[in-house]
Amino acid sequence: MSKPMLGNPQNTIEILQKYQFTFQKKFGQNFLIDPHVLDKIIRAADITKEDLVLEIGPGIGTMTQYLSGAARQVIAVEIDKNLIPILSDTLNGYDNVTIINEDILKLNIVQLVKEENGGWPIKVVANLPYYITTPIIMGIFENHVPVESITVMVQKEVADRMQTGPGSKDYGALSLAVQYYAKPYIVANVPPNCFMPRPKVGSAVIRLTRHERPPVEVVDERLMFDIIRASFNQRRKTLVNGLNNSDRLKVPKKVISKAVEQLGKGAGVRGEALTLEEFARLSNDIAGYMI
């Protein structure tokens, strides 16, 4: 392949200068310039020649080049139209790569997987803009996109939040939502000097392996997540008061109190003390009262 590999910082600088590219703060652009980290991501994502990979935010195509060598097909979705001519250049000759200039949050990924992979599960790999990490990941899970795993570079603090359990200050709605859909595993911590421009925070690569079926059974998935959000919206309040104050839950306080009581954790328990299993039980009890 005649194209220079972009994991090399010098090649990245040359491309950026050639196209006089300016970084867009609104898109949270930080391009990876460390071949070791790129190799680590490809290995962690466990990509084979049978896989269709969806890459979100390819930037100038650095990771796309690596993905192309490992996968059967790569679909790279880039929101910034100024990057499309650069991608056409850096990925010229990479015949198994398709570039889509679109906002990933507006793209019908389920339809895309149906058309491009016959509905079979894909693997998602991304160096995600930090301000939009949660909507992207939760959008994939909540819309039931057929996905085997999501391997992403995210802010270190967000990676910690995704894999932590009850009792930690990082534990919250995101921890529970991710763990309901997938098994999180932090692959590597990545310092700011691996990017251009350097972000102000540390990063981490996390792999989310989709559960074949959720680890808990819930009567009403949406209700459970409404309960989870309400219980963390006002962390200082007791679980009963947090749920009672929520405008999403139209349930009498005595019903909430009874359901919380059945958990056997005392009336003063807070949401951050509950496991996913306990939230599932609480939600199933409340759903029973609502029927």
Give tens-digit pLDDT for 182-211.
999 999 999 999 998 888 899 999 999 999
Q: Are 285 and 262 in contact (CB under 8 A)?
A: yes
Count the neighbouring beta carbons within 10 Å of the beta carbon of residue 105. 12
Residue at token pair 């995704």: 162
Q: Per-residue DSSP letters for 107-159?
A: S-HHHHHHHHHTT--EEEEEE--GGGHHHHHHHHHHTT--EEEEEEEEEHHHH
| Domain edges within the chain | 9-210, 221-290
Superfamily for domain range 9-210: Vaccinia Virus protein VP39 (3.40.50.150)
Q: 2.130.10.10, 3.40.50.460, 3.60.15.10, 1.10.8.100: which CATH number matches 221-290?
A: 1.10.8.100
Strands 52-56 vs 122-127: parallel, antiparallel or unpaired: parallel
In the structure encoding, which two tokens stand for residue 48, read together?
A: 């084979």
Whether residue 13 is predicted with pLDDT greater than 90 in this model: the reply is no
Q: How many CA atoms lie within 13 A of 105 on its CB side?
A: 9
pLDDT band with cut points at 50, 70 and 90 for residue 233: confident
Domains 9-210 and 221-290 agree in fold: no
pTM of the model: 0.91
Per the document, the length of the chain is 291
Mean pLDDT of the chain: 92
What is the per-residue pLDDT for 83? 93
What is the per-residue pLDDT for 1? 45
- SS3 of 291, please? coil
Strands 31-32 vs 195-196: parallel, antiparallel or unpaired: antiparallel
pLDDT in tens, 141-158: 999 999 999 999 999 999
